[in-house]
Amino acid sequence: MTNRERMLSLIKGEMPDAMPFAPRLDLWHVAARATNTLPKEYKNASIEDICRNEGWGIYRLNSDYSYLETAYDDWVFSVLGIYAPPETCFSMEFNSEVEVETKWKGHEFHVTFHTRMGELSSVVVLDQAAKKQGVTYPWIKERVIKSFDDWDKVGFLFENLELTPRYESYLKVCETIGEDGLVCSSPTDGGSPIHQIHKHLLPHNQFFILYKKDRSRLEKLAASVANFFKQTLKIYQEYPGELIIWGGNYDRTITFPPYFEKDILPWHIKVADCLQPLGKYVITHTDGENHGLMDIIIRSKVNGCESICPYPQTRLKMHEYREQWKDLVLIGGIPAEYLIPGQTSEEEMYQYLDYLFKAVAPGIKYIPGITDAVSPLTDFDRLRKLGNYIQDRGKLPLVGGKVLDIFQGEYTDMDLAPTKFIQAEDVLGELQMAVIKGDKDEVCENVTKCLAAKIDGRAILREGMITAMIYVGDAFGRGDMYIPEMLMAANAMEAGVELLKPALTSSLKQQTKAKVILGTVYGDLHDIGKNLVSIMLKGIGMEVIDLGINVSTDTFIRCVVDEKPDILALSALLTTTMPQMKIVIDSLEEM
């Protein structure tokens, strides 16, 4: 059988002759080209050349965004979070209601939209430094939405966006890959219009606050964004391929269960009900923490989940994924760190593979892959050994038997004992409840009452607010509260602390004002975790210097030298960028 036949057979729930090994190499390949570190025998080789020569399948279950290196017309649409790589079955353009002006300024691509509703502008960047980290698509330096005045204008853009079927480009990619891999078309990485707004149009913190306090505003914009989704779904009814990937980057914290259930699940069901009767298989990109989402994703009617990231990347182990998603195709399951020297040994890699093969036996509905992708830090020789292991031992059906949990005893459970919370009496208790509710006005009102009652400022801070935030944090950790509630509580406390500052003694100010340098490491453009930590630290009186995202090691070191902080906090969301934390720490230790 060919690798394409094997992959398609497993997706259909059939048993082929062997497991296909098709590592996702796009991030590694882009970074290796940019740093001139491709293996000697592959100095000028494409991903397809490498895979064919090694006997691996060609992984095209995610879109290859490297096309953007030359397809600058699509950069215009990237500011809205939509793309049309070759394997996507449509092209995009605005109708005559929208005029687009573009300009290059160094590595920055400036876009201006002229409409009768007014102007909008955005800036995106893709430079050599980003490519060295394997980044293949431009990051948005300046968002198209800058104020509430821009919301209707962005809605107008989506309303006047026109998609044209373009099946020939998909078929050309299929012809290029041939029987060496299975090409999956990805029309959108947003699972729904609301999810699209969340992922691409608003900062996380703003989205979550509005999600709780001003849903009507989000729903109005989502109604306009839905024009893109409706056109996409119509075009894919004539899709000439078998496999579609819809939505992704799901995570129990970011796409928390009530949010997923209300705003993402209905669109997944709509897509499945529309396309599956036509013989199409729908998968989704589940590369986050799926504990708490397992049942909802089953109800989404997807045929499979791609880029499964098990423990130690997340809390669920691979045998738990197999047990709970027994009817879904699982794609991935091999953490990228097993290919990175210094993070794991070859012995640990083989130990994990032995465990994995028992966990997924007899091997039906499982396609092994590196999750989320082969890292730029990967040792190619080790990748080759991993491929040899799968080729040598991946004949199907796999031999079953007792699964040896190699992680047994390590903490992976999300169940936390409830924190004992004793509500204070009188107005301090009212202040605590106001913080927990996230009511900024009520917090300020109760701080004023506490001051009028001559309550010591330290007691107001510690008993009235910090105690409440500890409760909120623990409830968040247990899954009893979600990001919107935690953000609202943190913002409310921040307002209360600001009002309280004059009443605090100078000694307390000195005691609580530790200095923290905070930033997301080089190559990572995510800021949700960093922003949450920043809000919490500011709320308890710390001085926070936020360096932003994509921060180089040199910038961290220079800031540490200049500012002499008490704490350096490094943030990373991607498994491919987490090793940058060690690089920063090692560089500091060498000083």
Residue 537 confidence (pLDDT): 80
Does the structure show a pLDDT above 90 at 402?
no
* 498/549 same-domain check: no
* 471/530 same-domain check: no
- Measured between alpha carbons, how far is 513 from 466 in angstroms, rounded to an integer? 15
Q: Assign 577 a pLDDT band (cuts: 50, 70, 90).
A: confident
Q: Assign 416 a pLDDT band (cuts: 50, 70, 90).
A: low
Residue 539 confidence (pLDDT): 62
- Measured between alpha carbons, how far is 152 from 217 in angstroms, rounded to an integer? 10
* 494/529 same-domain check: no
- The enclosing domain of 578 has a CATH number of 3.40.50.280
The DSSP symbol for 521 reads B
Cis, bond preceding 187 (omega within 30 deg of 0):
no
Whether 465 is covered by a domain: the verdict is yes
* 520/504 same-domain check: no
With a pLDDT cut of 70, the percent of the chain lying above it is: 93
Nearest Cα to Cα of residue 568 among 557, 554, 583: 557
Boundary of a domain, candidates 509, 530, 549? 509
* 477/432 same-domain check: yes
Least confident stretch, 225-229, 311-315, 385-389, 420-424: 420-424
Which one has a higher pLDDT value, 517 or 478? 517
Does the structure show a pLDDT above 70 at 548?
yes
State both tokens at 534.
């920043």
Residue 234 confidence (pLDDT): 98
Whether 401 is covered by a domain: the verdict is no
Residue 56 confidence (pLDDT): 94
Average pLDDT over residues 545-569: 92
Query: Cβ of 142: how many Cβ atoms within 10 Å?
Result: 14
* 468/541 same-domain check: no
Residue 349 confidence (pLDDT): 97
Residue 148 confidence (pLDDT): 96
Boundary of a domain, candidates 509, 529, 555? 509
Whether 58 is covered by a domain: the verdict is no
Residue 126 confidence (pLDDT): 75
Whether 498 is covered by a domain: the verdict is yes
Least confident stretch, 73-82, 394-403, 413-422, 462-471: 413-422
Beta pairing partners, 120:
113
Whether 45 is covered by a domain: the verdict is no
Residue 475 sits in which domain range?
A: 415-509
Boundary of a domain, candidates 509, 531, 562? 509
Whether 375 is covered by a domain: the verdict is no
Does the structure show a pLDDT above 80 at 535?
no
- Measured between alpha carbons, how far is 369 from 565 in angstroms, rounded to an integer? 41
Does the global pTM surpass 0.85? yes
Looking at every residue in the chain, the average pLDDT score rounds to: 90
- The enclosing domain of 435 has a CATH number of 1.10.1240.10
Average pLDDT over residues 393-421: 76
Predicted confidence (pLDDT) per residue in 239-258, tens digit = 999 999 999 999 998 999 99
Residue 512 confidence (pLDDT): 54
- Measured between alpha carbons, how far is 28 from 42 in angstroms, rounded to an integer? 13
Residue 343 confidence (pLDDT): 87
Average pLDDT over residues 139-159: 95
Whether 579 is covered by a domain: the verdict is yes
Residue 507 confidence (pLDDT): 44
Which one has a higher pLDDT value, 126 or 323? 323
Average pLDDT over residues 45-70: 85
Average pLDDT over residues 80-107: 94
Mapped onto helix, strand or coil, the DSSP state of residue 528 is helix
* 480/549 same-domain check: no
Helix (H) or strand (E) run with residue 116 in it: none
* 519/505 same-domain check: no
* 487/557 same-domain check: no
Tally the domains of the chain. 2
Residue 430 confidence (pLDDT): 94
Does the structure show a pLDDT above 60 at 273?
yes
Whether 53 is covered by a domain: the verdict is no
* 468/446 same-domain check: yes
